[in-house]
């Protein structure tokens, strides 16, 4: 299995459990690794034969930007579901973080893996 990835995609959204967090937009950052097979695209140099990271990124930017979540855990699960269902990705690893959420830490968040690694 090959991996197509997106690193440090930053999107502003409403995220958090505190009242003040519900009133402001905060930046979340994600790293996404998606299992796929790139051989057909490599052989043909045809973008339609691969998992297009730009298309995935645009979809996630739109989704996250218009969504509101209390927990990063919920957001991570919904992102994973979109990627697997809409882009036919059998396996993914997602790191979703809230930079600056805890004093003294660069960021906090979750890392999830979903699906079967082929």
Q: Give catalytic residues, as residue numbers.
A: 98
Burial level of 17, CB count in 10 A (0-12/13-18/19+)?
exposed
DSSP string, 23-85: SS-EEEEEEEEEEE--HHHHHH--GGGS--HHHHHHHHHHHHHH-EES-HHHHHHHHHHHHHH
Task: Give CA–CA dist 78/60, Å, rounded.
Answer: 10
């Amino acid at each position: 299995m090959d991996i197509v990835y997106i690193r440090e995609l930053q999107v502003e959204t409403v995220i958090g459990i505190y009242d003040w967090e519900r009133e402001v937009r905060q930046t979340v950052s994600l790293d996404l690794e998606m299992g796929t097979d790139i051989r057909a695209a490599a052989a043909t140099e045809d973008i339609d034969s691969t998992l297009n990271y730009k298309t995935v990124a645009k979809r996630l930017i739109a989704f996250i930007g218009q969504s509101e979540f209390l927990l990063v855990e919920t957001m991570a699960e919904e992102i994973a579901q979109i990627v697997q269902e809409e882009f036919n990705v059998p396996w993914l690893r997602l790191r979703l973080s809230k930079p600056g959420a805890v004093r003294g830490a660069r960021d906090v968040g979750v890392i999830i893996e979903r699906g079967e690694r082929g």
